[in-house]
Amino acid sequence: MKLAAGKIVYKTELFDVKEQKVLLDGNKKNIYATVERRPTVNIFPLTETDDLYLIYEYRQMFRKKILGAIAGHIDDNETSLAAGKRELKEEVGMSASHWEEIARIEKSASVIKETSHLFLARDLEQGTPKPEQGEDITLVKMSLNDAVAKVMNGEIKVAATMIGILMLDKLRREKKL
């Protein structure tokens, strides 16, 4: 399968839709459409006693509040780390002096391209949140063990949040936290 040059057929601030001509064997052609989303960050603030901060946030897509990691898009000309620091401050008013990227994930392997950077944040300090208009966020603190249990029972179901929690659990077991 070979792809000819693509063109953007739909564009928003957060994603593009691109169409590419696919040259199949025997000179057949197909149109292959993909979505490319602005990269995101997910932040996992962990206390000295291994309590994790998550948020309940109203999510239009699910028509309800769901439990997940503090997260957001990376702005133009912003590093992933700067975005992590900004989102942590904006969404829950927190800052952290120790940051570590524990994973850089791809949400999908085909059709939709989105990279997300997963950060562990430690040495936390609480301040005042400045949520964006329309954001309805409740900060929740729970033990890492409880968070893992909620991943395993399906209560936490958003991919990046699941991965961050399961990786932190694994790192802790390996004494790498």
Residues that bind a second copy (CB under 8 A): 1, 3, 9-10, 12, 14-15, 17, 22, 24-25, 32-35, 37, 57-62, 66, 68, 71, 103-114, 133-134, 148, 151-152, 154, 157-163, 166-167, 169-171
Nearer to a second copy by Cβ, of 34 and 47: the residue is 34
Residue among 76 and 134 whose Cβ is closer to a second copy: 134
Closest CA to 88 of 59, 51, 126: 126
User: At its nearest, how many Å lie between a second copy and the CB of residue 98?
Assistant: 20
| C-alpha of 50 from chain center | 21
- Pick between residue 58 and residue 99 the one whose CB is nearest to a second copy: 58
- Nearest partner of 104 among 146, 164, 59, 145, judged by Cα: 164
Smallest distance from the beta carbon of 175 to a second copy, in angstroms? 13
| In the complex, minimum distance from the CB of residue 63 to a second copy, in angstroms, rounded to a whole number | 9
Least distance (Å) from a second copy to the CB of residue 134?
A: 4
**Cβ closest to a second copy, residue 95 vs residue 142:** 142
Cβ neighbors of 2 (< 8 A, separation 6 or more) are 22, 23
- Least separation in angstroms between CB 52 and a second copy: 16
Give CA separation, 47 vs 54, 170, 177, in Å. 12, 17, 11
- Residue 139: phi and psi, rounded to 5, are -75, 135
Q: Which is nearer to a second copy, 32 or 95 (CB)?
A: 32
- Give the contacts of 22 (CB within 8 A, at least 6 positions apart): 1, 2, 3, 4, 29, 30, 31, 32
> How many residues are recorded in the chain?
177
